[in-house]
Amino acid sequence: MAQKVSIDYEHRGKSHNTVLCSKDLSVFSKAAKRADIVAKKGEDLVEALLTNFPGSFSGVERYAEGKLNDGPNGEHAVQVFDDEGLLVHAKICKDGVVMRTLRVEELAACNFEMKRRAQIKAIQSSFEGRIKVLNPG
């Protein structure tokens, strides 16, 4: 049964809220055992959950001051994922207004970028921060 979880945080004086829709709560039990994830807050926590548990979430909605809005780092306000964790639908919103829905080509580029970021994080984590990817492209 799908379960929604809310992550509330402040960013630059604004109240933000990110709602994650997971397939069940087991993903949070797994995440709770990882100190590197538990220590994160706000969008860093959201990114860590999405990156470390692909396919566990069906969607994300982001709000600023109670209105549907892109995240503080440019994350899409609405994201829908397939069973493998690939982005299949996304909307860009500002102050509760949908500005644009992403096209198929744009979604493919987002999925590529998400995989690339996950790979870089895995490399850096494996080497405990002693190695940094310099031209991540």
Look at residues 83, 79, 90, 76 and name the one whose alpha carbon lies nearest to residue 23.
83
Residue type at position 90 = A
Cβ proximity of 64 and 15 under 8 Å = yes
Q: Which residue has the tokens 């991540």?
A: 136
Q: Domain locations in the chain?
A: 3-103
At 107 the three-state DSSP class reads: helix
Q: Is the pLDDT of residue 126 over 90?
A: no
Task: Compute the average pLDDT of residues 117-127.
Answer: 78
DSSP, res 93: E
pLDDT tens digit string along 72-114? 988 999 999 999 888 889 999 999 999 999 887 888 887 787 7
Whole-model pTM?
0.79
Look at residues 65, 73, 89 and name the one whose alpha carbon lies nearest to residue 17.
65
